[in-house]
């Protein structure tokens, strides 16, 4: 008995020493990421190599709609919380490096191409605020004022564009604006025009050329070619839902740069159980895919061959995989209740899936669809890998 | 402190509601498993737009102070039929009328925070 006990202690000590050594050993951060525990205000730092949680950091406030961007060196995550909190999380030290409450209610953010500016999109008081990425000191405040009464608009779809610029959309005003920080001093603001009624989110392609805003209040999307000398807004896919009655939307779809898959954009329809395929050259419809229910995220695997899709409440237990060349659903499975988010490893060999109401994150092989592992987290939502640092618009 | 008063008030409301001592006849209220599912739905799915703490987001804030003086039935109707022209969808079919009233009372009492 004593020998057994001694052996156990010895093994435990050895394991502890190994773990402690791992914590202090030199390491890169390119295979790290952050998973939001939305109900607990906590962000868990994970390793995609080890398929493990390294540490969970508390004290990030209300993370009911949280997102993250990363510093160019991939050491820091900037996490945008619903309560207006902006938290700079150190992935190496596994602790909060800095945190400010920058607004009353925020929805997301972006980091400039040079990594020096972090911009936050606000619901309350609206507009966009821009911070120094090192100190989190405020550098600029861009109120999104519209109409003759000078109302303040909520902003959505805030992205970085090449040349120290940010592009964003005014939810209440239906306009798209650009803020240019390429010259010293106050940013140059360009109002690009009207997108349409109630734009809910937007994306920019990885090359920084195309900005596309989705509309909730109209059947259609708005597109801006930022390579144009004077960028203008064009409506695309107008009237895509006119032949079918719209269903109630229990969760807004999300748009990100991963919508571009090969020669098509694959976009979630609003109020219809469909994906819309858009020809990436002509910007005309290139087909549709009937899917399980209303899509929330349609995320292209990094090679663009397949798109993984999750769905709105109450049919949110399912994931479908769409083959892009044939626009056919080639795989369907049910990870569990409330699949909220999916994130591919940078080269697309695996995909991490958060299953909120099962308190679990599942890891799948992105080609064979076999399950590779699972992690236990409390009400996990957004999954953000540090490799996003290298991608415009993410 | 007002803050502490609010949480005490919420706690009391929550306990009373769980015990079925406030609100309409207990028979109309959702039972244990359904109540748990509804509670989770209100916090997580309503919370997606209104904020997990109901301070608002794309949707309006739904804290007890925001709902003061609004009828239970008015709130229940918004839950059931949505607000046309806005992203607030009708939840009819997913929640019954008595469940919508239970949600309305719960929001006003702050039991979902």
Those residues of chain B whose CB sits closer than 8 Å to some CB in chain A are 40-41, 43-45, 47-49, 51-53, 55-58, 82, 85-87, 89-91, 94
Q: Does A101 lie at the interface with B, CB-CB under 8 angstroms? A: no
Q: Could you tell me which of A181, A188, A196 has the C-alpha nearest to residue A233? A: A196
- Measured CA to CA, the distance from residue B92 to residue B75 in angstroms comes to 13
The C-alpha of B37 sits at a distance from chain A's nearest C-alpha, in angstroms, of 10
Mean pLDDT value of segment A192-206: 96
Contact B52 A313 (CB under 8 A): no
CA–CA gap between residue B112 and residue A340 (Å, rounded): 21
- The answer to whether residues A296 and A253 touch, using CB atoms and an 8 Å cutoff, is yes
pLDDT at A12: 53
- Identify the pLDDT of residue B20: 44
Average pLDDT (A339-351) is 97
Q: Do B87 and A38 touch (CB under 8 A)?
A: no
- 8 A C-beta contact, residue A160 and residue A390: no
Alpha-carbon distance of A358 to A339, in angstroms, equals 9
Q: What angle do CA A167, A169, A173 make, to 5 degrees?
A: 145
CATH superfamily of A105-251: YVTN repeat-like/Quinoprotein amine dehydrogenase (2.130.10.10)
Task: Please check whether residue A219 is in contact with residue A240, taking contact to mean a CB–CB distance below 8 angstroms.
Answer: yes
The set of residues, in sequence order, having a beta carbon less than 8 Å from that of A373 and lying 6+ positions away, is: A51, A362, A363
Instruction: Look up residue B86 and give its two tokens.
Output: 């806005």
Listed in sequence order, the residues at least 6 apart from A37 whose beta carbon sits closer than 8 Å to its beta carbon are A43, A44, A56, A63, A377, A378, A379, A380, A381
Q: Which two tokens stand for residue A237?
A: 């896919």
In terms of Cα–Cα distance, which of A393, A368, A114 is closest to A260? Answer: A393
| Both structure tokens of A202 | 């937007």
Say if A341 is an interface residue toward chain B (CB within 8 Å). no
CATH number at residue B9: 1.10.760.10
Enter the tokens of residue A343.
């994130």
What's the domain range around B53? 2-109
pLDDT by 10-residue block (mean), chain B, 113 residues: 42 48 55 91 90 88 94 96 92 94 95 88
Residues of B in contact with A251 (CB under 8 A): 45, 48
- Number of domains into which chain B is organized: 1
**3 state DSSP class of A81:** coil
SS3 content of chain A, % helix, strand, coil (to 5): 10, 50, 45
Residue of higher predicted confidence among B113 and A358: A358
Return d(Cα A312, Cα A345) in angstroms, integer. 24
Residues in Cβ contact with A114 at an 8 Å cutoff, skipping those fewer than 6 apart: A72, A164
Report the 10 Å Cβ neighbour count for A108.
22
**Cβ proximity of A110 and A78 under 8 Å:** no
CA distances to A107, A373, B74 from B83, rounded to whole Å, are 22, 42, 12
In the structure, what pLDDT confidence band is assigned to residue A82 with cuts at 50, 70 and 90?
A: confident
**Alpha helix ranges (H) inside chain B:** 2-18, 32-40, 47-50, 64-67, 72-81, 97-109
Q: What residue ranges do the domains of chain A occupy?
A: 29-101+341-394, 105-251, 254-334
From B47, B85, B91, residue closest to A64, measured CB to CB: B47
Nearest neighbour of B40 by CB, restricted to A123, A198, A357: A357
Q: Which of A62, A200, A248 sits opposite B82 (nearest CB)?
A: A248
Phi then psi dihedrals of residue B108, to 5 deg: -65, -30
Beta carbons of B57 and A171 less than 8 Å apart? no
With 70 as the cut, is the pLDDT of residue A3 above it? no
3-state DSSP call for residue B107? helix
CB neighbour list of residue A267: distance below 8 Å, 6 or more residues apart:
A212, A214, A221, A237, A255, A259, A275, A276, A277, A278, A298
Closest to A276 in 3D by CA, of A318, A223, A224, A226: A223
CA distance A250 to chain B (A): 6
Please give the distance of CA B44 from its chain centroid, rounded to a whole number: 12
CA distance B19 to chain A (A): 25
A252 to B49: CB separation less than 8 angstroms, yes or no: yes
Q: Is the pLDDT of residue A21 over 50?
A: no
- The whole-number pLDDT of residue A64 equals 82
The correct CATH number of A254-334 out of 2.40.10.480, 3.30.565.10, 3.30.200.20, 3.50.50.60 is 2.40.10.480
Strands (DSSP E) found in A246-290: 260-261, 264-268, 274-279, 285-290
pLDDT-above-70 percentage for chain A: 94
- In chain B, the residue whose alpha carbon lies closest to the alpha carbon of A65 is B48
CATH for A29-101+341-394, among 2.40.128, 3.40.1350, 1.10.10, 2.60.40? 2.40.128
Query: Among A3-17, A86-100, A301-315, which stretch is predicted with the lowest mean pLDDT?
Result: A3-17
Q: Measured between beta carbons, which residues in chain B are less than 8 angstroms from residue A123? A: 56-58
The pLDDT tens digits of the residues spanning A221-279 come to 999 999 999 999 999 999 998 888 888 899 999 998 788 999 999 999 999 999 999 99
Backbone angles phi, psi at B63, to 5 degrees: -80, 160
Which residues lie closer than 8 Å to A130 by C-beta, 6 or more apart?
A: A117, A118, A119, A120, A138, A139, A140, A141, A142, A166, A179, A181, A187
Phi, psi of A244 (to 5 degrees): -125, 140
CB–CB of A83 and B40 under 8 A?
Answer: no
Number of residues that this document lists for chain B: 113
Q: How many residues does chain A have?
A: 394
Q: What is the pLDDT of residues A297-335, one digit of tens each?
A: 999 999 999 999 999 999 999 999 999 999 999 999 999
């Amino acid at each position: 008995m004593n020998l057994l006990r001694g052996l156990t202690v010895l093994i435990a000590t050895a394991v502890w020493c190994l773990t402690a050594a791992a914590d202090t050993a030199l390491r890169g951060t390119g295979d790290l990421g952050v998973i939001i525990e939305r109900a607990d205000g906590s962000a868990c730092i994970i390793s995609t190599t080890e398929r493990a949680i390294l540490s969970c950091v508390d004290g990030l406030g209300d993370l009911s709609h949280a997102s993250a961007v990363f510093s160019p060196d991939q050491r820091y995550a900037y996490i945008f919380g619903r309560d207006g909190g902006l938290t700079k999380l150190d992935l190496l030290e596994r602790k909060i490096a800095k945190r400010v409450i920058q607004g009353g209610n925020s929805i997301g953010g972006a980091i400039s191409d040079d990594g020096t500016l972090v911009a936050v999109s606000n619901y309350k008081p609206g507009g966009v605020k821009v911070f120094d990425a090192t100190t989190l000191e405020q550098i600029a405040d861009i109120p999104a004022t519209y109409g003759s009464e000078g109302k303040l608009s909520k902003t959505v779809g805030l992205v970085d564009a090449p040349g120290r610029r940010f592009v964003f959309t005014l939810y209440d005003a239906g306009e798209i604006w650009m803020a240019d920080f390429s010259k010293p001093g106050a940013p140059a603001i360009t109002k690009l025009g009207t997108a349409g009624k109630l734009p809910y989110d937007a994306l920019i392609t990885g090359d920084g050329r195309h900005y596309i805003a989705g509309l909730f209040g109209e059947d259609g999307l708005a597109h801006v070619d930022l390579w144009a000398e004077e960028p203008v807004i064009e409506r695309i896919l107008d009237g895509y839902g006119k032949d079918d009655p719209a269903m109630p939307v229990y969760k807004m779809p999300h748009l990100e740069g991963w919508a571009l898959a090969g020669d098509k954009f694959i976009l979630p329809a609003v109020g219809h159980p469909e994906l819309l395929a858009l020809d990436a050259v002509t910007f005309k419809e290139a087909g549709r895919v009937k899917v399980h229910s209303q899509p929330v995220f349609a995320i292209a695997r990094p090679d663009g061959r397949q798109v993984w899709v999750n769905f709105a409440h109450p049919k949110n237990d399912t994931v479908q995989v769409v083959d892009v060349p044939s626009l056919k659903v080639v795989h369907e499975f049910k990870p569990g209740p409330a699949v909220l988010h999916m994130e591919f490893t940078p080269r697309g060999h695996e995909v991490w899936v958060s299953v909120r109401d099962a308190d679990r994150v599942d890891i799948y092989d992105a080609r064979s669809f076999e399950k590779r592992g699972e992690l236990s987290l409390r009400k996990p939502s957004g999954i953000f890998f540090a490799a996003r640092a290298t991608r415009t618009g993410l | 402190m007002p803050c502490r008063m609010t949480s005490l008030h919420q706690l009391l409301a929550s306990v009373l509601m769980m015990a079925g001592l406030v609100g309409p006849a207990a028979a109309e209220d959702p039972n244990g498993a359904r109540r748990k599912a509804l509670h989770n739905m209100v916090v997580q799915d309503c919370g997606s737009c209104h904020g997990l703490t109901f301070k608002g987001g794309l949707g309006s804030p739904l804290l007890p102070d925001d709902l003061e003086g609004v009828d239970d039935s008015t709130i229940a109707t918004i839950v059931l039929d949505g607000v046309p022209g806005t992203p607030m969808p009708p939840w009819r079919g997913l929640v019954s009328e008595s469940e919508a009233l239970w949600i309305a009372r719960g929001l006003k009492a702050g039991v979902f925070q």
